[in-house]
Amino acid sequence: MSAASGLDTEGLGDRASAGIQLPDALLAAAEAVVNQVLALDPEGAARLAPVEGRVLLLELTGFGTRIYVVPGESRLFLFGAYDAEPDCIVRGSPVALLGMVLAEHREDAVFAGAVSIDGDNRPAQVLGEVLRGLDIDWEEQLSKLLGDTLAHQLMSRARAGERWAERSGDIAGQNVREYLQEEAAVLPSRAELADFLAEVDTLRDDVERLAARVQRLERGL
Amino acid sequence: MTDEKTHFGYEEVPVAEKQERVRAVFDSVAARYDLMNDLMSLGIHRLWKRRTVELAGVRRGQRVLDLAAGTGDLAERFARIVGPQGQVIMSDINGSMLRQGRERLVNAGIVGNLDFALANAEALPFASDTFDCVTIGFGLRNVTHKQLALNEMYRVLRPGGRALVLEFSHPTTKPLAKAYDAYSFSILPTLGRLVAGDAASYRYLAESIRMHPDQETLLGMMEQAGFERAGYENHTGGIVAIHRGYKL
């Protein structure tokens, strides 16, 4: 039952009564934000075309929240209910779903059982690709506010800064690791760690064999 | 011409005159219609329309007819959902409103799968069994013969198709009804005068809402037209109701 729209009868359609459902007004606001982001990369958003008008149901396990995602022309519609059979149902905890969108190998989440997909997985796949592949031209957005020249200078500085930070970060990380492993010998190197784990395995097996031998001797007495 | 009378707000007018007078009202308010809707409903009309889209459950490739489409809020959403294989026809009896709507949607980049029809809902210029979904949002109460319009909506639907009527209705509780009356008959015409420069038209809108059949009566009319599994839900305490029925 939606407080925002004041629905006060049993209502039509199959609004899920169990679980935490998001109010329409909140979904409308979320939809507006998502579409503003999509509008920043029109080419990326245009890649939604093959799944326009398909119905994707997201079920957040643990909360029982259901969100229908209907891709439209260069935009997404988000609904709390949608009176059409979903083409695709994606179930998972919010963390698992977010992880799948961000992960390098999205199949992992499905194989691990954290996320399940029923029906035609194409809408989910295309949607994930569009969201991950958004390439927002910040310089263009900034130039609308500040003008081309200033925006370009700012973005060049920002990009140079980003590269510097990345490089310095890498080098600093390597230096710290080397110091801790080789000089201070506080942390083991990868090879030392592997040797140690192998020795632990051997020791455990030895102890089990010894226990078995002791048992056999006891029975023989 | 017959002597048959119908209501125009609280006035009794000859049937032949009503259409003309409704046209005059909408000619007068067309330019500021969206702004007035926001003011009149405090923006809640957006949520009512969203809910209508949810209940329509339109999908890729379907054909949708939006009657009394006004400035095209519903038609715009449907056109974005049905995609290039689908088709949306936006229809209104009023030329000024339809022109406003067309201009707005073309500017919003909705082209290709959207067509426009200047048509009377009582006699639709479409073949039977044509549409997957027919909607009429805030329009039925201005139609002279509502039953004829419902019959026509039923006729042009494909078997399995659904019709939705989003319309002002009757508040379900007394205190709300009182507050709503006060609002409609004192604040609304004043707003109309200030924003659209036309108090009389907005008084008509408020009166026409009072003369519109209540939830159960409209449900009966839909069943009369042949709709099956018909039902309705109230929003904002019955100020608005969404009726839905299927052609099976």
Domain range list for chain A: 24-133, 137-187, 189-221
Tokens representing B217 are 């009566």
**Residue A105 pLDDT:** 67
**Residue B49 pLDDT:** 92
Is the confidence at residue A102, as pLDDT, over 80?
Answer: no
Dist CA B27 CA A206 (whole Å): 94
Domain range list for chain B: 5-20+44-169+214-246
For the segment A173-179, the average pLDDT, to the nearest whole number, is 78
Is the confidence at residue A19, as pLDDT, over 80?
Answer: no
Cβ distance A52 to B231 less than 8 Å, yes or no, reads no
Of the listed ranges A21-25, A56-60, B142-146, B154-158, the one predicted with least confidence: A21-25
Which is more confidently placed, A179 or A10?
A179
- Report the predicted TM-score, pTM, of the whole model to 2 decimal places: 0.76
Tell me the per-residue pLDDT of B113-142, one tens digit each, with 9 for 90 and over. 999 999 999 999 999 999 999 999 988 988
Task: Band the pLDDT of B232: cuts 50, 70, 90.
Answer: very high
Of the listed ranges A11-15, A215-219, B191-195, the one predicted with least confidence: A11-15
Interface check B112 vs A, CB under 8 A: no
Residue for token pair 């606001």: A29
Q: ipTM for the complex? A: 0.84
Interface check B61 vs A, CB under 8 A: yes
For the segment B173-183, the average pLDDT, to the nearest whole number, is 88
**Residue A134 pLDDT:** 76
Tokens representing B195 are 């924003």
From the centroid of its chain, how far is CA B24?
Answer: 17
Task: Band the pLDDT of A209: cuts 50, 70, 90.
Answer: very high
Interface check B56 vs A, CB under 8 A: yes
CATH node for A24-133: 3.30.1050.10
Tell me the per-residue pLDDT of A66-99, one tens digit each, with 9 for 90 and over. 999 999 988 899 999 999 999 999 998 877 777 7
Tell me the per-residue pLDDT of B44-88, one tens digit each, with 9 for 90 and over. 888 999 999 999 999 999 999 999 988 788 999 999 999 999 999
Domain B5-20+44-169+214-246 has CATH 3.40.605.10: no
Is the confidence at residue A15, as pLDDT, over 70?
Answer: no
Cβ distance A8 to B238 less than 8 Å, yes or no, reads yes
Interface check B60 vs A, CB under 8 A: yes
Residue of A nearest to B241 (CA): A7
Q: Which of B172, B99, B177, B94 is nearest to B139 (CA)?
A: B94
Per-position b or e across B219-244, b if 16+ CB within 10 A of its CB: bebbeebbbeebbbbbbbbbbbbbbb
Question: What's the mean pLDDT when you consider all of chain B?
Answer: 89
* CB-based contact A97:A90 (threshold 8 Å): yes
Query: How open is the CA angle B45-B48-B52, to the nearest 5 degrees?
Result: 135
Residue for token pair 């957006």: B46
Residue of A nearest to B47 (CA): A5
**Residue A103 pLDDT:** 64
Which is more confidently placed, A174 or A52?
A52
Residue of A nearest to B173 (CA): A8
Of A12, A70, A81, the CB nearest to B242: A12
For the segment A165-174, the average pLDDT, to the nearest whole number, is 77
